[in-house]
A and B are shown apart, each in its own frame.
Chain A
Amino acid sequence: MMEELSEKEKTREKFIEAANRKKILAHRCNKCGHLMLETVLFCEKCSASKFEHVELEGSGTVVTYTIQAVAPEGFEDAGSYAWVVFKVDNQQLRGSGFLPGVKTPSDLPIGMKVRVAGYDPKHGLILQK
């Protein structure tokens, strides 16, 4: 059990380490080729558990988002920001992250390009336009 737990924690660590290099770390199933985020441990399509690690360019387009007028604890000092769901370029995969400096919906039309800028222990996956 302990081993499983530490393995799971490591997937997050690896994901964060890649984000700090502006990449998105994914798993590609060795059996069926399905692509998932690094943190998924069994293939969503075929339940196989052998994967190839794939580093995707951290760029995508905005699928939807919100501008958090009332920020949750830990984000009070973040200024006006958006929480964004984005589709990774050339993949079916979606991710989500924190995009600072967004004040009104005109700052961020759906479909706009965003890029992974890094990972902040306080604000999570940081995006930039």
Chain B
Amino acid sequence: MTNSKVCVLGAGSTKYGKLDESVIEIALNAAKDAIDSAGITPKDIQAGYISNVFGVADKQVHMAPVIMSNLGISHVPGLTIESACGSGSVMFREAFANVAAGFYDCLLALGVEKVTHTGTVRSTTLFSYCSDFFYEGGNGASFPGLFASMARAYMNTHKATEEDLANVAVKNHENGFLNPKAHMRKKITIDEVLKSPVVASPLKLLDCCPFSDGASATILCSEEFAKNSGRPYMEVIGSGRGASPAAVQGREDITTIPSTVAAARQAYKMAGVTPKDIDFAEVHDCFTIAEIIDIEDLGFFPKGKAVHAVRDGATRLKGEIPINPSGGLKSKGHPIGATGVGQVVEVFDQFTGKAGERTIPNAEIALTHNFGATGASAAVHIFRKVDRK
């Protein structure tokens, strides 16, 4: 057992949206894509890391052994991890740490969610259980409501407007329109966002990501395993975790998310890079306000300035720092257990020539950022493209 650099050798996703298959079938479809993409077979997989939140809604918890069994490798140990909407990245971090420590040379890191069949009202209630329920859900706050309270605080502090938030939605739908696997593949206008029904003021329906089903999977391996494969891969050069008070009321400043700041600091330090070195980022835009706060907390823009940068096009596909080329949670969709892994899949697709019309030319270093609930837990990862030529 020796410490190793950790690489991503394969990645795959189902389409995100309203899916008919069972949660296990959805997971297996993504697993198969990732296995094919890595050029391995299931017998190469030494462990399975699975992220999921609401398995109980499709009558399946203890998901890892079921997935392993259906991949024909029932002897391979698995682990299922829950960390609300941040489950995917938090799980990815644990998978990363186990390869880095030398416990495994090759493993499957897969996130999956199926929730749309429960309906909007039930889904909203299930999501509210991810809050600090005694203080938040139990006092009438829905998830959009919690982010709406952050939006109001941000707008009040930095003199931002509802139109500033709408710019984020328009940009992410522009990107998602180019993503065949996106849930909401439709361009929208500022006017449509502003006129969409209010969910929790100041947030409107088109400020919110959809409830989605879907799965995303990656094959993580040691550097030696990746080199021996002779295939394209990327290296995980930075990994950070952070935490915030579980309830919004516990935060001295409601316009920043402490877990993001901490996770980013660790990841940048490990990678030996700064925000200026990042060519593009996939960030947690569950609501438009979240992306504004994220890109400030990640160090891309000073506090209070992100809204101007978004308005000026800096975060668009051809801007100085493209944010959410996949369409983000907003347009690509948010199958919560899968979301953090799906971000890694986008980076892999970008680095390996599979991103089609949304390809960011010459990108070599990218960042993923994903958090749970209102940012109570977060993880940030930084990836470097490895040139095989």
When A65-B149, A105-B201, A110-B152 are in contact, do A98 and B139 touch as well, CB less than 8 Å?
yes
Question: From residue 58 to 75 of chain A, which have CB atoms closer than 8 A to chain B?
Answer: 63-73, 75
Which stretch (B128-136, B291-299, B312-320, B349-357) binds chain A?
Answer: B128-136
What size tier do the contact residues of chain A reach?
A: 20 to 34
Asked if residues A72 and B142 are in contact (CB atoms below 8 Å), the reply is yes
Quick one: which of B128, B134, B137 contacts A12, CB cutoff 8 A?
Answer: B134
A39 to B139, CA, bound (A): 16
Q: Is A31 an interface residue (CB 8 A)?
A: no
Provide the main secondary structure of the chain B interface. Answer: helix
Asked if residues B128 and A66 are in contact (CB atoms below 8 Å), the reply is no
Kindly provide the distance from the CB of B155 to the nearest chain A CB, expressed in whole angstroms.
10
Q: Is A125 an interface residue (CB 8 A)?
A: yes
Chain B residues near A124: list those with CB within 8 A: 138-140
- Residue of B with least CB distance to A93: B249
Question: From residue 156 to 173 of chain B, which have CB atoms closer than 8 A to chain A?
Answer: 156
Chain A residues near B125: list those with CB within 8 A: 72-73
When A83-B141, A96-B136 are in contact, do A73 and B121 touch as well, CB less than 8 Å?
yes
- Which of B125, B136, B138, B144 has its CB near the most chain A CB atoms (within 10 A)? B138
Asked if residues A83 and B145 are in contact (CB atoms below 8 Å), the reply is yes
- Residue of B with least CB distance to A92: B252
What size tier do the contact residues of chain B reach?
A: 35 or more
Q: Is A78 an interface residue (CB 8 A)?
A: yes
Q: Mark B195-238, 1 if CB is under 8 A from A, else 0.
A: 00111111100000000000000000000000000000000000
Q: Is B247 an interface residue (CB 8 A)?
A: yes
Asked if residues B199 and A69 are in contact (CB atoms below 8 Å), the reply is yes
Asked if residues A69 and B140 are in contact (CB atoms below 8 Å), the reply is no
Q: Is B101 an interface residue (CB 8 A)?
A: no
Quick one: which of B142, B150, B248 contacts A70, CB cutoff 8 A?
Answer: B142
Question: From residue 28 to 69 of chain A, which have CB atoms closer than 8 A to chain B?
Answer: 39, 63-69
Chain A residues near B150: list those with CB within 8 A: 64
Q: Is B148 an interface residue (CB 8 A)?
A: yes
Quick one: which of A69, A71, A85 contacts B249, CB cutoff 8 A?
Answer: A85
Chain B residues near A75: list those with CB within 8 A: 140
When A72-B128, A83-B145 are in contact, do A64 and B200 touch as well, CB less than 8 Å?
no
- Residue of A with least CB distance to B127: A72
Q: Is B254 an interface residue (CB 8 A)?
A: yes
When A69-B198, A69-B199, A78-B140 are in contact, do A96 and B135 touch as well, CB less than 8 Å?
yes
Q: Mark B80-114, 1 if CB is under 8 A from A, else 0.
A: 00000000000000000000000000000000000
Quick one: which of B146, B201, B250 contacts A69, CB cutoff 8 A?
Answer: B201
Asked if residues B141 and A96 are in contact (CB atoms below 8 Å), the reply is yes
Residues on A facing B (Cβ under 8 Å): 12, 39, 63-73, 75, 78, 81, 83, 85, 92, 94-98, 105, 110, 123-125
A-B contact pairs, 6 of them (CB 8 A): A64-B153, A67-B198, A81-B140, A85-B149, A96-B135, A96-B247
